Amino acid sequence: MSTVARPERTRLLEATLEELAEKGYRAFEVEAAVHRAHLSGEEWSNRFPDKDACLLEAFKELSGQMRAAIAGGSRAAGTWSDRVAAGLRALLAELARRATVAEAVAHTFPAIGPAAMTRYQQFVESLAPLLAPGRALAGDVELPRTAEMLAVGAAEAIVMERIHAGATATLPELGPEILFSILVVFVGPEAAGEAMAKERSRLRPSSGRTAGRSGR
Amino acid sequence: MAAECAAVGYRRVQIADVLVRACLDRATFDRHFQDKQDCALAVVDQILAETARAVLDADRPGLPEWQRLLAATMALLELFAARPSYARLACIEARHGMPAEAYERYAAGLRILSSLIDRIRTFASSMAPPTATRGALGGAEILIRRELIAGRADRLPSLLPDITYGTVVPFLDQQEALRHAELARELIRDGG
């Protein structure tokens, strides 16, 4: 990996993820990650008292990158549904691009212990407020107060199932279906189905653009 | 074992600490289990069996499908509220933190619950994709995990209306889903 013009900390945390993906949790060592990042000295090894502390920080870095991917994608113009679709597309593309790392983290990180599990849950929950604007589309309908969490949980479950199956690289294909499960909480099955069809036609433009409206 | 896993996570569990909690000696442990994994899988099997039994006991053939789903979901939430350590092991550790055999059991539990939701799909909008059932369960799971992680298992039954909405809305009209959520609220008010 390139070592130019990136903060040392970022380099170390990325090296941590790469080491984890290659060697697994048992064989992972902070010193090896330090070496891989082309860093030297005891400073970095001392900064992380053990490998779990290093992995906690690496997860924080990775989850920040995933949030950034979602935020970047969802800045696209269009309806709320369009923006959710774009954010989801960006997230799935990023996960697929880093499939090996995503699978290693999914198998390893929450298993470190209760603190890591809490950190993982907090990351997933932190995505819920991004969906809050969807409430406006429900009109007079009073949605459950946990609507955003239901939507995020639906997406997380489908994504994690694919990751557990070792098929992370194929996640973008599932984008339209995941989009349905996110939107349906806010707009019901008909409008969510239209958005899913629109996203499908976007992914497969040669099959014809027959999708209906979306975003209600 | 379940309590120790909840406290420190499966990976860090030491059999010695389990024995202290259970007030048992090592010889007793060895008579029943080969090792830590064997013991933890037995706990997952037990909660899985209890889950299946609770869901089946609550299921009343002849009632409308949505009512059967509601009763089964309530039974599940009440079981998890009564056995938080077991629930945590089944819903969290088996999913993320244990050997592959535990994940297979977790997946088997999901299949039981999926079959309940799939009965609702009979009335589904044709637009619901194949993964919609998994998504509906995922919505319920994240709410359950949140309460378990926060140590608020006693609140699980109060999630019934929101979980009901989340599990049926992919397949029914949104107003219908809200009506079912309201019925779930009434069920709680009436004391189950």
Domains in chain A (CATH in brackets) are 8-207 (1.10.357.10)
> Mean pLDDT over residues A64-88, rounded?
92
Using CB atoms, pick whichever of A145, A158, A194 lies closest to residue B134: A158
Question: A116-120, B134-138, B161-165: which has the minimum mean pLDDT?
Answer: A116-120
| A30 shares contact with chain B (CB less than 8 Å) | no
Q: What average pLDDT does the segment B79-93 reach?
A: 92
Check which CATH number belongs to the domain holding B81 and give it.
1.10.357
The pLDDT mean for chain A works out to: 87
Q: What is the average pLDDT across B64-75? A: 88
Q: What is the ipTM of this complex?
A: 0.91
Q: Is residue B59 part of a domain?
A: yes
B74 falls within a domain: yes
Query: Pseudo-torsion of CA B50, B51, B52, B54, nearest 10°?
Result: 80
What is the average pLDDT across A112-119?
88
Rounded mean pLDDT, B159-178: 94
What is the four-CA torsion angle of B136, B115, B177, B61, rounded to 10 degrees?
-160
B window 119-158, beta carbon within 8 A of A: 124-125, 127-132, 134-143, 145-146, 149
pLDDT above 60 for B1: yes
With an 8 Å Cβ cutoff, is B108 touching chain A? no
For residue A61, give every residue at least 6 positions away whose Cβ sits within 8 Å of its Cβ, in sequence order, or none: A10, A13, A14, A17
Residue B133 to residue A181: CA distance in whole angstroms:
9
The pLDDT, as a whole number, for residue B125 is 65
pLDDT, one tens digit per residue, over A163-180 is 999 999 999 999 999 999
Query: Is B6 a member of any domain?
Result: no
In a domain, B4, yes or no: no
Q: Flag if A154 and B136 touch (Cβ within 8 Å).
A: yes
Is residue B106 exposed (0-12), middle (13-18) or buried (19+ Cβ within 10 Å)? Answer: buried
Q: What is the pLDDT of residue A41?
A: 65
Determine contact: B103 vs chain A, CB below 8 A: yes
B158 has a pLDDT exceeding 50: yes
What is the overall mean pLDDT for chain B? 91
B21 found inside a domain: no
- Band of residue A45 on the pLDDT scale cut at 50, 70, 90: confident
User: How far, in Å, CA of A108 to CA of A16, rounded?
Assistant: 12
Question: Which domain, by its residues, includes B170?
Answer: 35-189
Structural domain contains residue B77? yes
- Specify the number of domains making up chain B: 1
B154 in a domain, yes or no? yes
pTM: 0.90
